[in-house]
C-alpha cells in the first residue's frame, strides 16, 4: 500500500494534537521551573537541595547548634535539611529520564550537579554506609544521623541509575560502587534496618524491610537490585536472588497487583514508593517481571488518585475547627475531598492568599501537594494511556500555581521533576 506524505502529516497531527503543550512549551517549562528551583533552593557550591529557600536560612526554625545537639529530635523534622538526599535523588532520576529520551547538555549538567550533591551528602556522614539528613548549608558537620528508609533507598537507587547512564565517568562509577557497597553492607548487617552511628539505636523510621508483605517487598527488592546494578558485583546479585527466591519467591507474589497492595498512610508521601518502583522497572531485564512492576505502578497511581483528603491519618495534624475552616474557605462540597483529581480541579490562586496562615498552609497541602504526589506517580507509572489521560490536568496545575508563594522545597522539587518526566514522555513518543 502506498502512503502519501499528506496522509502521514495528517496522522502525525492527529496524534500530537492530544498534547496540551507544544515541544517548545514543555521544554521551556521544564527548564524555567528547574532554573528557578535551583536558584532558590540549591546551594551554589555543593548543589544540595534544601527544604527551604536559602535566602531565608537565617530564619530557619533550628540553628546550627540545635542540629549538632540533635534538637528538637534526632531526625530533624522541620529543620529544612531533613530530606536533602530525597530531593536530590528524585531530581537526579528525573534528569536521567529526560536525558535518555533526548540528550541535551543542559540536562546533563543538572544531572552532574545532583551526582555531586549526593556524593557530598554521603561524604559528610560520620559513619561509612550511613546516608545522613542534611547537612546545614553553612556547616557540613551540622546534620542529623537519625536517617530514614527514604534517604537510603533514594541514594542507592538514584546513584545506581546514574552509574548505568552514559553520563557517568570511570571515576564517578568507582565512587558509586564503593559507597553503595558500604551502604548496602551496613543495611544488611542490621537486617536491612537503619541504625544510628552507635550501631544499636534504630532510626525513627529505620524499620527492617525483611517482612513478607507488599510494603516491605516494594522497598527491599528494588533497593537490593539497585545495589547489584550500581556495583556490578556478584555479591549483590546473589543477595538479590536470595531475597527474591526466599520462601519460593513469596516477595515477588507481593509485588503483583491485587487487593494486598497498600499505600503509605500519609497521603502526600505515597509518591516516594513510585520512584523505587519506576527505577526497578527501568533496571529489570526480564519482560515478565517488568510487566508485574508496570502493573504495580499503575495500580498504585490509580489508588492514589482515588484517595480521600484528608484521610483519618491526617486529621491528627490540625484541630477539627481548622479542617472545618479549610472546607468552608475552599468551597468543598463536604468535609473531605473525594479524590486527588477533585483537589486539583478545585484549586484557585486565591487559596495562596487566605488570611489565616494555618488554613492557608492546609489549603496548599490539600489542593497542590496532595494531587501533585498523585501526578508524580502517574508520570512514572510507565502506563502510556494513564499518562495521556491526565496530561491536561497535570499541565493545568503546573501553569496555575505561583511557586514564588510556596516556600516548601518539597512542592517545588516535585513540580520540576514532573516537568522532566513529561518532557521524557513527549520525546519518547514523538
Could you tell me if 219 and 346 lie in one domain?
Answer: no
Q: Is residue 342 part of a domain?
A: yes
HSE-up of residue 118 (Cα within 13 Å, Cβ side): 33
Q: Is 399 helix (H, G, I), strand (E, B) or coil?
A: helix
Query: Domain for residue 389, yes or no?
Result: yes
Per-state percent for the chain, helix, strand, coil, to nearest 5: 65, 5, 35
Q: Longest C-alpha distance within the chain, in Å?
A: 76
- Of 220, 255, 290, which closes a domain? 255
Distance CA 185, CA 191 (A): 10
Given 210, 238, 255, the domain boundary residue is 255
User: Domain end: 255, 272, 289, which one?
Assistant: 255
Q: For residues 326 and 403, state if they share a domain.
A: yes
Whether residues 327 and 198 fall in one domain: no
Tell me whether residue 328 is in a domain: yes
CB 57 within 8 A of CB 137: yes
- Does residue 328 share a domain with residue 218? no
Q: CA-CA distance, 162 to 90, in Å (whole number)? A: 12
Same domain, 190 and 313: no
User: Does a structural domain hold residue 51?
Assistant: no
Q: Are residues 229 and 314 in the same domain?
A: no
CA-CA distance, 24 to 153, in Å (whole number)? 34
| Bond from prior residue into 196 cis (ω within 30 degrees of 0) | no
Q: Over its length of 430 residues, how does the chain's per-residue pLDDT go in tens digits?
A: 333 433 333 333 334 458 999 999 999 999 999 999 999 999 999 999 999 999 999 999 999 999 999 999 999 999 999 999 999 999 999 999 999 999 999 999 999 999 999 999 999 999 999 999 999 999 999 999 999 999 999 999 999 999 999 999 999 999 999 999 999 999 999 999 999 999 999 999 999 999 999 999 999 999 999 999 999 999 999 999 999 999 999 999 999 999 999 998 888 889 999 999 999 999 999 999 999 999 999 999 999 999 999 988 888 889 999 999 999 999 999 999 999 999 999 999 999 999 999 999 999 999 999 999 999 999 999 999 999 999 999 999 999 999 999 999 999 999 999 999 999 999 999 8
The structural domain count of the chain equals: 2
In a domain? residue 70: yes
Residue with cell 542507592: 156
Is residue 2 domain-resident? no
**Residue 198 domain boundaries:** 58-255
Both 251 and 313 in one domain: the answer is no
Residues 152 and 241 in one domain: yes
Domain for residue 3, yes or no?
A: no
181 & 111 share domain: yes
In a domain? residue 113: yes
* Helical segments of 257-365, H only: 271-283, 287-305, 320-329, 340-345, 357-364
Amino acid at each position: 500500500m502506498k502512503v502519501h506524505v499528506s496522509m502521514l502529516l495528517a496522522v502525525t497531527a492527529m496524534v500530537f494534537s492530544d498534547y496540551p503543550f507544544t515541544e517548545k512549551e514543555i521544554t521551556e517549562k521544564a527548564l524555567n521551573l528547574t532554573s528557578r528551583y535551583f536558584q532558590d533552593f540549591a546551594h551554589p557550591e555543593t548543589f544540595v537541595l534544601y527544604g527551604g529557600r536559602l535566602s531565608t536560612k537565617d530564619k530557619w526554625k533550628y540553628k546550627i547548634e540545635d542540629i549538632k545537639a540533635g534538637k528538637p529530635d534526632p531526625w530533624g523534622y522541620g529543620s529544612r535539611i531533613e530530606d536533602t538526599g530525597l530531593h536530590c535523588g528524585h531530581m537526579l532520576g528525573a534528569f536521567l529520564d529526560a536525558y535518555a529520551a533526548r540528550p541535551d547538555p543542559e540536562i546533563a549538567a543538572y544531572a552532574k550537579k545532583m551526582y555531586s550533591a549526593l556524593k557530598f551528602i554521603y561524604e559528610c556522614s560520620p559513619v561509612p554506609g550511613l546516608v545522613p539528613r542534611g547537612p546545614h548549608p553553612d556547616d557540613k558537620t551540622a546534620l542529623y544521623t537519625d536517617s530514614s528508609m527514604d534517604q537510603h533507598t533514594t541514594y542507592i537507587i538514584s546513584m545506581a541509575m546514574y552509574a548505568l547512564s552514559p553520563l557517568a565517568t570511570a571515576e564517578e562509577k568507582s565512587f558509586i560502587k564503593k559507597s553503595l557497597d558500604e551502604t548496602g553492607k551496613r543495611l544488611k548487617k542490621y537486617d536491612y534496618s537503619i541504625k544510628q552511628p552507635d550501631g544499636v539505636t534504630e532510626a525513627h523510621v529505620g524499620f527492617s524491610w525483611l517482612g513478607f508483605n507488599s510494603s516491605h517487598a516494594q522497598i527491599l527488592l528494588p533497593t537490593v537490585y539497585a545495589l547489584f546494578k550500581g556495583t556490578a558485583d556478584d555479591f549483590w546479585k546473589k543477595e538479590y536472588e536470595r531475597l527474591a527466591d526466599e520462601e519460593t519467591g513469596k516477595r515477588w507474589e507481593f509485588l503483583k497487583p491485587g487487593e494486598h497492595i497498600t499505600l503509605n498512610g500519609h497521603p502526600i508521601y505515597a509518591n516516594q514508593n513510585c520512584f523505587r518502583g519506576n527505577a526497578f522497572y527501568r533496571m529489570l531485564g526480564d519482560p515478565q517481571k517488568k510487566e508485574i512492576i508496570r502493573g504495580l505502578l499503575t495500580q498504585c497511581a490509580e489508588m492514589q488518585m482515588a484517595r480521600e483528603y484528608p484521610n483519618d491519618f491526617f486529621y491528627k495534624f490540625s484541630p477539627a475547627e481548622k479542617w472545618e475552616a479549610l472546607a468552608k474557605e475552599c468551597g468543598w462540597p463536604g468535609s473531605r475531598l473525594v479524590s486527588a483529581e477533585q483537589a486539583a480541579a478545585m484549586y484557585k490562586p486565591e487559596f495562596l492568599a487566605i488570611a489565616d496562615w494555618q488554613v492557608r498552609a492546609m489549603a496548599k497541602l490539600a489542593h497542590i501537594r496532595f494531587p501533585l504526589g498523585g501526578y508524580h506517580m502517574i508520570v512514572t507509572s510507565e502506563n502510556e494511556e494513564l499518562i495521556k489521560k491526565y496530561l491536561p490536568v497535570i499541565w493545568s496545575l503546573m501553569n496555575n500555581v505561583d511557586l514564588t508563594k510556596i516556600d516548601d522545597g518539597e512542592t517545588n522539587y516535585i513540580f520540576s521533576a514532573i516537568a522532566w518526566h513529561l518532557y521524557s514522555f513527549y520525546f519518547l513518543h514523538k
